[in-house]
Chain A
Amino acid sequence: MAGTGEAHLLTDAADTVLSVHHLQVEYRTPGGVVQAVSDVSFDVRPGETLGLVGESGCGKSTTGKAVLRLEKIASGRVVYRGEDLAATKRGPLRRLRRKLQMIFQDPVSSLNPRRSVRELVVEGLTIAGRPAAERREAADRVLADVGLDPERFGPLYPRQLSGGQAQRVAIARALAIRPDLIVCDEPVSALDVSVQAQIVNLLHDLKDEHDLTLVFISHDLSVVRSVCDRVMVMYLGRICEVGDVESVFAAPAHPYTRALLDSVPRRRAAGGFTGPALEGDIPTPLDPPSGCRFRTRCPLATDRCAEEVPEVRPVGDGHFAACHYAGITADTVRVPAGV
């Protein structure tokens, strides 16, 4: 999938919480049609945390919103516990909404500026018609859970919060109605490392207590590594690689994943980085490259990459990649002819 295919999916859909097939999302803009998500398939297993990483603009937020039907799907299927969400009518969908939550990427702008923190966090319960006493109790609990003193923060409005405080309100809000699945879009990006650790631990606890399943979108690879069971790497609307977080991080098979891991700032390296920077033209989703979408920047690209869309194929135990030359590194092999 910087290709296509479904080799990485579980054969039995009953083993999944969410199963996404050939998801396609497009946006019409003045400049043309943005192919934000193209032929993306993946499954999310009960109780797991699936990480979603990849270049800015590659379609992570769009994927997250589309699977919860917060964005229009051009084609494809999204099955949540046996129910096809794309075909679900509005009424039953509202019932499912309570089990499916999204934490949006822009915490402050996602919060209604005219509601107090206390109202915001239990909005889901209010809509569900839960009694005031229960709402009060829930608000106190979730605010304390995310490290915000309910007495101090409850009466505040979003504009009175720091970036990290607003982000924690957004998290508390998603947790308050005890959902089954949460898509978290950059949920800890505005938090210092200690508060971040507190939230990550909280998510672990909630997963232990009841089978909470998470899709975790993040640019912070060290957080992804400690939070996620599996990770999926995207590039320009397609999947590059998916697998157990340990194997993907220890032995990235796709050239893009490798470039990504090489760019992580390290304390001691020159300029804070280890590997060389990615070069080549950044393609546009209005007119994505033929074949493998990564080929314009890939050190291994050949003519074949321009012609054939690589299929997702196994490269190890529970580890899949969509590259014609997956597993080959530029140092071990001479760059093939045609470059």
Chain B
Amino acid sequence: MTAPTRPLLQVEDLRTWIATDSGPVRAVDGVSLTVAAGEAVGLVGESGSGKSMLARTVMGLLPDRAGTSGTVLLDGVDVLTASTRVRQSLLGPKVAMVFQDAGRALNPVVRIGRQITEGMVRHLGISRAEARERAVGLLTEVGVPDPRRRLANYPFQLSGGMRQRIMIAIALACEPDLLIADEPTTALDVTVQRQILDLLDRVRTTRGMGLVLISHDLGLVAGRTDRVAVMYSGRMVEEGPTDAVFDSPRHRYTEALLASTPSLDAPRARRMRVIEGALPDPRRPPAGCRFAPRCAAADAACEVPGADSLRDGVLGHRHACVHPVPPGAGGVAADRDAALMPADETRS
């Protein structure tokens, strides 16, 4: 991807915390990330590591009692300090989000037709009738059968995967410059999933939309993103070109994550590989590398405060590991088999 002059999204040393009765939860703790126009960036990491919180911070949709520091520049505008009015005007045309929990993000008592057209009427200044036509087109594109009749449905009348596609249609309705898709395809079968991802690719190349794809599906992230960032316990532990990170992970957490990935090609095993232990308590994370308590390679040097700062590597492949995996040693097993296959230049 060619780098334009100013990135669409520029997150700098962002911290997001939520006050609770037992102390602040440090959900995002010093993360930097940029996304250029037309670029697809994957965001992966353990459940609870702060991916959705990072996304909600960019959207300005944080829970009560949340606080932030750092900067989040969206096309040059700092959303953390902008007025509510300015922020509202950005939502839809500038940045849109597909929420992880479609069931909760949709309004249960409003027909889906209205939920899709609302933003278009407000932001694009088109008539309700025209917005309806566009909504039908959008639903067709996201593969909802019988779109015209579906507009009259309430969310509860739809299957889980249909609700998710409605969310995607709503997010794309105002033609956002940046789309943050938080687990957009968890309720979709692989054939529909593919149709959606093709659609997002198309919008990205034709309109130059930037995409942040949050997903636990590493196969999907591998095939559909240019760069990938790995989060662990509120910190970014690795970031770089998708191929480089997946073929040759440097951080011990990334390596362990890739090693637990089940694959249709691998022999069928009854027990699956896990990373022993759990995420640290985000109210009192350990000093130094937060993965150290679960890491086989950890020693005293890993527990020194600041040990987990990002180290630069070739081609912008950065990692935060004190004892990194030697280059080329940690790719997934399925990939080593794939060495026999021809290299593909066709990937986006």
Do these two chains interact?
yes
Report which A residues bind B (CB closer than 8 A).
27, 29-32, 53-57, 61, 105-110, 147, 149, 152, 155, 159-160, 162-166, 168, 185-186, 189-198, 200-201, 204, 219-223, 225-226, 245-246, 249, 259-261, 263-273, 277-278, 282-286
B222 touches A108 (CB 8 A): no
Asked whether any CB of chain A lies closer than 8 Å to the CB of B45, the reply is yes
A-B contact pairs, 11 of them (CB 8 A): A56-B160, A147-B278, A192-B257, A193-B257, A219-B161, A225-B262, A260-B190, A266-B264, A267-B222, A270-B344, A272-B197
With the chains together, A219 CA to B103 CA distance in Å? Answer: 18
Asked whether any CB of chain A lies closer than 8 Å to the CB of B271, the reply is yes
CB-defined contacts of B161 to chain A, threshold 8 Å: 56-57, 219
Q: Which of the 9-residue segments B72-80, B212-220, B318-326 touches chain A? A: B212-220
Residue in contact with A283 in the complex, picked from B103, B145, B162, B338, CB distance below 8 Å = B145
With the chains together, A106 CA to B105 CA distance in Å? Answer: 11
Rounded to whole Å, the gap between the CB of A59 and the closest CB of chain B is 8
CB-defined contacts of A32 to chain B, threshold 8 Å: 149
Closest residue to A30 on the B side, CB-wise?
Answer: B152
Closest residue to A147 on the B side, CB-wise?
Answer: B278
With the chains together, A251 CA to B335 CA distance in Å? Answer: 23
Residue in contact with B346 in the complex, picked from A31, A164, A259, A270, CB distance below 8 Å = A270
A265 touches B162 (CB 8 A): no
Residue in contact with A57 in the complex, picked from B162, B186, B270, B335, CB distance below 8 Å = B162
Rounded to whole Å, the gap between the CB of B154 and the closest CB of chain A is 9
Asked whether any CB of chain A lies closer than 8 Å to the CB of B127, the reply is no
Closest residue to B46 on the A side, CB-wise?
Answer: A192
Given A57-B162, A204-B271, A226-B270, answer yes or no on A105-B223 (Cβ-Cβ < 8 Å).
no
> Which of B46, B100, B160 has the most C-beta atoms of chain A within 10 angstroms of its own C-beta?
B160
Closest residue to A31 on the B side, CB-wise?
Answer: B149
A277 touches B195 (CB 8 A): yes
A225 touches B268 (CB 8 A): yes
B264 touches A271 (CB 8 A): no
Residue in contact with B260 in the complex, picked from A57, A194, A220, A245, CB distance below 8 Å = A194
Given A56-B188, A108-B104, answer yes or no on A61-B159 (Cβ-Cβ < 8 Å).
yes
Closest residue to A266 on the B side, CB-wise?
Answer: B219
CB-defined contacts of A259 to chain B, threshold 8 Å: 191
Interface size on B, as a range, is 35 or more
Asked whether any CB of chain A lies closer than 8 Å to the CB of B112, the reply is no
Chain B 192-210 interface 0/1 with A at a Cβ cutoff of 8 Å (1 = within): 1111011001000000000
With the chains together, A165 CA to B52 CA distance in Å? Answer: 12
CB-defined contacts of A27 to chain B, threshold 8 Å: 157
A105 touches B187 (CB 8 A): yes
Asked whether any CB of chain A lies closer than 8 Å to the CB of B256, the reply is yes
B45 touches A226 (CB 8 A): no
Closest residue to A109 on the B side, CB-wise?
Answer: B103
Rounded to whole Å, the gap between the CB of B98 and the closest CB of chain A is 13
A56 touches B189 (CB 8 A): yes
Asked whether any CB of chain A lies closer than 8 Å to the CB of B20, the reply is yes
CB-defined contacts of B191 to chain A, threshold 8 Å: 55, 259-260, 263, 277-278
With the chains together, A198 CA to B198 CA distance in Å? Answer: 32
Seed contacts A152-B281, A269-B344, A271-B224; 17 additional CB < 8 Å A-B pairs: A56-B189, A57-B158, A57-B162, A106-B160, A166-B101, A186-B186, A192-B47, A194-B273, A219-B186, A249-B264, A263-B189, A266-B219, A268-B341, A270-B346, A271-B198, A272-B219, A277-B191
> Which of A109, A159, A261, A267 has the most C-beta atoms of chain B within 10 angstroms of its own C-beta?
A267
With the chains together, A160 CA to B19 CA distance in Å? Answer: 11
With the chains together, A159 CA to B145 CA distance in Å? Answer: 32
B145 touches A57 (CB 8 A): yes
Rounded to whole Å, the gap between the CB of B346 and the closest CB of chain A is 4
Rounded to whole Å, the gap between the CB of A94 and the closest CB of chain B is 24
With the chains together, A268 CA to B283 CA distance in Å? Answer: 40
CB-defined contacts of A278 to chain B, threshold 8 Å: 191
CB-defined contacts of A267 to chain B, threshold 8 Å: 219, 222-223, 246, 332, 334-335, 338
Asked whether any CB of chain A lies closer than 8 Å to the CB of B29, the reply is no
Rounded to whole Å, the gap between the CB of B268 and the closest CB of chain A is 6
A226 touches B268 (CB 8 A): yes
A219 touches B190 (CB 8 A): yes
Closest residue to A158 on the B side, CB-wise?
Answer: B104
B219 touches A193 (CB 8 A): no
CB-defined contacts of A273 to chain B, threshold 8 Å: 194, 223
A204 touches B270 (CB 8 A): yes
Asked whether any CB of chain A lies closer than 8 Å to the CB of B88, the reply is no
Given A56-B189, A57-B161, A197-B272, answer yes or no on A164-B47 (Cβ-Cβ < 8 Å).
yes
CB-defined contacts of B197 to chain A, threshold 8 Å: 272
With the chains together, A277 CA to B216 CA distance in Å? Answer: 23
Asked whether any CB of chain A lies closer than 8 Å to the CB of B153, the reply is yes
Closest residue to B102 on the A side, CB-wise?
Answer: A106
CB-defined contacts of B22 to chain A, threshold 8 Å: 155
B102 touches A264 (CB 8 A): no
A162 touches B47 (CB 8 A): yes
CB-defined contacts of A221 to chain B, threshold 8 Å: 190, 264
Rounded to whole Å, the gap between the CB of B178 and the closest CB of chain A is 21
With the chains together, A219 CA to B194 CA distance in Å? Answer: 13
Within 8 A of A (CB), among B172-196: 182-183, 186-195
Residue in contact with B188 in the complex, picked from A191, A219, A270, A284, CB distance below 8 Å = A219
B348 touches A162 (CB 8 A): no
B216 touches A193 (CB 8 A): yes
- 8 smallest beta-carbon distances between A and B, as pairs: A272-B223, A56-B161, A164-B47, A197-B272, A106-B103, A109-B103, A31-B149, A284-B146
